[in-house]
Structure 1
Amino acid sequence: MRSGTFLVGALFVAVVGVLSSIFIVDEREKALVLQFGQIKAVKEDPGLAFKIPFIQEVVRYDDRILSLDTPPIEVTPSDDRRLVVDAFARYRIADVVRFRQAVGAGGLREAESQLADVLNDNIRAVLGAEGVTSNTILSAERSTLMDRIRVRADGRAAEFGLDVVDVRLKQTNLPDQNLGATFDRMRAEREREATDERARGAEAAQRVQAQADRTVVELVSDAQREAEIIRGEADAERNGIFAAAYSADEEFFRFYRSLTAYENALKGSNSTLVITPDSEFFEFLDGAGLSGTPNAN
């Protein structure tokens, strides 16, 4: 009976020992096998792995891309306009051995504390470099600056086994005490730009108006010239007709011109013409003007 109990106990201890020596590495993690704090094995491939029970322990680290939000910090670009920058980084544990040696038992909490210091130092260094102004930080060149911060931070983070995948500036704001002055300066700049635009618009309008006036003068001048040409041609044609009529029957032409003169001289209902009775003006009224005409009746 006593031997049976001993056998069961030994079997139980053996099962517990076997189970304690087996562990599973998930595909989303990496594991280190430690013995008295020293690294004995690195398990990066998913699946079953073994360790010495009760002597060795397994420490697991997340192998996925992780996020870190940095606290807002103040930076001073080269134009001395202070900005409050809020950034975040995405990183992963690239070398678990170096990571363990750098942070020890502190794990991710210690690593993120060190990484935050690295990011803040490089954010200040890049955004405060010569030639980098607040307008540059707020413009399309922002992505270039973020990539520069990532490269510098990745070089430092590699010392404790981390790979910085990305760095982004979430917010870039002005300190509260600078907002009023900045808004006034922005308003003054916009008013100046508006004044310049109005001046350029007025100048363009004057050019258009001058061009239109010149075009009107040219069109009127051309029309008057053409009208004078047409009038001259008409007068010439009329004179030609008169000349032809005069040469055909001189006496009739004189009679027609006298009637036209009578009509022009005696216009209106109360026209008065004072003239001597023997004036040549009446030669066709008393019949004398037609006396010598062969066709007169």
Structure 2
Amino acid sequence: MNKLNLAIPVLVLVAVGVLSSVFIVDEREKAMVLQFGQVKQVKEEPGLGFKIPLIQEVVTYEDRILGLQTQPLEVTPLDDRRLVVDAFARWRITNLVDFREAVGAGGEEAAQVRLERIVTAAIREVLGGVPSNRVLSEDRTALMNTIRDNARRQAASLGVDIVDVRLTRTDLPEQNLAATYARMRAEREREAADERARGEEAAQRVRAAADRTVVELTSDARRQAEVIRGEADAERNRVYAEAFGRDPEFFAFTRSLTSYQRALKAGNSSIVMQPDSTFFEYLRSDQPPAPAAQ
């Protein structure tokens, strides 16, 4: 009975010792076994691990990609135009030993502080070497890749890898926005005035060309009309001459009737002449006048 009573505590101690020597590494983590602050084992694969109870301890770190949001900072590009920049970086731990030696017991939080300084310094270095128009443009991929590469080289000593860096905001400081907007508005108004002036000049050229074309077409039409009118008059005279040559009496009669029609129009037409005038020759006699001798 006494032996059984002694065996139970021993079994319990053994079970506790076995359980305390076993640790589980999650697939989202990496583990490190420390003994009096010294690294004794690194386990990066998920599963069971073993350590010496009471002497060794297990420290776990994230194996996933972590995010880092930088504080807003002011940068001065080449054209001395200050900008406020925010950035977001993604990073992950790649070397647990170097990471532990660099940040100590601070872990990911201490690494975030140091990485923010590295990313901020890389942003100032890269954006300080380009004009502000390039920073404010929509295509900033090359700039962000350069910032990532610079920060990655500096962060390698921490045992981490900078996966990506993105500029989330690139704006002007609040105190400069009003002046900048006023300058941009003035530039746009000047450009608009130049465009209107060029448009008015082009319109004047078009109107002048159109007026010249109208004058040329009108002159040509008048010339053609005069030519046609002259040809028609010549044809008319030819027909009159031919008709007169065929029957002078009938020709004289029709000309007299035409003269009566034009002279005696309806209304207040008045004619003052002698009754024996030759104008009324065909109205005074039933006999037509003798044709003129040819």
Separation of aligned partners in 1, 2:78 and 2:274: 105
Instruction: Please say which of residues 105-114 and 39-48 is displaced more in the overlay.
Output: 39-48
Give the % identical residues: 61
Separation of aligned partners in 2, 1:289 and 1:257: 17
Separation of aligned partners in 2, 1:222 and 1:20: 114
Aligned residues: 290
Deviation at 1:67, TM superposition (A): 0.8
Deviations 1:47-89 (A, max 9, x none): 2222222222221111111111111111111111211212221
Deviation at 1:287, TM superposition (A): 4.3
Deviation at 1:218, TM superposition (A): 4.5
2:245 is matched with 247
Separation of aligned partners in 2, 1:79 and 1:72: 20
Deviations 1:18-68 (A, max 9, x none): 212222221111111222222222211222222222222221111111111
Deviations 1:157-190 (A, max 9, x none): 1121111122122222323332332232222222
Q: Report SS of the residue matched to 2:92.
A: strand
Q: Report SS of the residue matched to 1:60.
A: strand
8 Å Cα contact 1:266-1:273 kept in structure 2:
no
Does 1:274 pair with 2:277?
no
Counterpart residue type for residue 81 of structure 1: R
Deviations 1:135-173 (A, max 9, x none): 221113423222211111111111211111221222223
| Cα-Cα RMSD | 2.6
Question: Structure 2 vs 1, CA of residues 139 and 251 (structure 1 numbering), >3 Å: closer, same or farther?
Answer: same
Deviation at 1:215, TM superposition (A): 4.2
Question: Structure 2 vs 1, CA of residues 258 and 135 (structure 1 numbering), >3 Å: closer, same or farther?
Answer: same
2:62 is matched with 62
Counterpart residue type for residue 160 of structure 1: L
Given candidates 149, 162, 165, the residue that maps to 2:163 is 165
Separation of aligned partners in 2, 1:273 and 1:238: 31
Please report the TM-score for the alignment, with normalisation by the length of structure 2: 0.86
Counterpart residue type for residue 88 of structure 2: F
8 Å Cα contact 2:79-2:131 kept in structure 1:
yes
Unaligned runs of 5+ in 2: none
Separation of aligned partners in 2, 1:72 and 1:201: 45
Alignment of 1:63-102 (within 5 A): 63-102=63-102
Separation of aligned partners in 2, 1:71 and 1:291: 123
2:192 is matched with 194
Please report the TM-score for the alignment, with normalisation by the length of structure 1: 0.86
